[in-house]
Amino acid sequence: MFAPVIRKLGRAEYAETLLAMRIQNRERATDTPDEIWLLEHPPVFTLGLAGKSAHVLDAGEISVIKVERGGQVTYHGPGQLIAYLLLDVRRLGIGVKELVRRIEQSLIDLLAQYKIDSVRKPGMPGVYVNVDGVDAKIAAIGLRVARHATYHGLSLNVNMDLEPFSRINPCGYEGLAVTQMHDLGVTDKIDAIGEKLIAQLQRNLNVVSS
């Protein structure tokens, strides 16, 4: 039964949170419970393990932090829901690709609750919605697996300043459009959306792998 410990951290500095995730992973034992951390970050760009600095076009006053997750560059800022997933993949009994698929499905199901149609795109982890005929990214996924467990996780754009995305090639794709729930008519607060996200993650990760 997937029943993670949920930690609501509010607005937390990226570097401090990253260190806490690394420590949790390093000290993990076979009986360490799964955890999901819900939070927001102050403005920061993060560049994945294989990320190319050329995808950061104009960071300006926003810090760029190199991290060990998968993926290229993305932006985190206030009004974006972050869920860090500290999960034992052996205990879940599924592979990393299947885990990513289920995370994407959880986001798709969450958005469907708000009557927002969204899709996954092959080879481009995350979730996308069609806005005026253009596929725009609304959620990003980037995981690190070490010691048979994940850390890092997902970000969902709720009600934030999207301008910093114009300073990068989001996820390494030049001209990739980005959107958020508020611009699609959602007025719920980020805490309420976080509760619904947790419910969807628990539902999808409790499905027995065939």
Give me the count of residues in the chain: 210
Instruction: Indicate the pLDDT class of residue 17, thresholds 50, 70 and 90.
Output: very high
Backbone φ and ψ of 148, nearest 5°: 65, 25
pTM exceeds cut of 0.75: yes
Q: What sign does the CA torsion over 157, 162, 168, 172 have? A: positive
Instruction: Indicate the pLDDT class of residue 208, thresholds 50, 70 and 90.
Output: low
pLDDT at 207: 67
pLDDT in tens, 59-97: 999 999 999 998 889 999 999 999 999 999 999 999 999
Class of the CATH-defined domain 5-205: alpha beta
Show me where the domains of the chain are located: 5-205
For the annotated catalytic residues, the residue numbers are: 171
Q: In which element (H, E) is residue 190 found? A: helix 190-205
Radius of gyration of the chain (CA): 16
> What is the average pLDDT across 144-171?
96
- Kind of pairing between the strands at 134-146 and 149-157: antiparallel
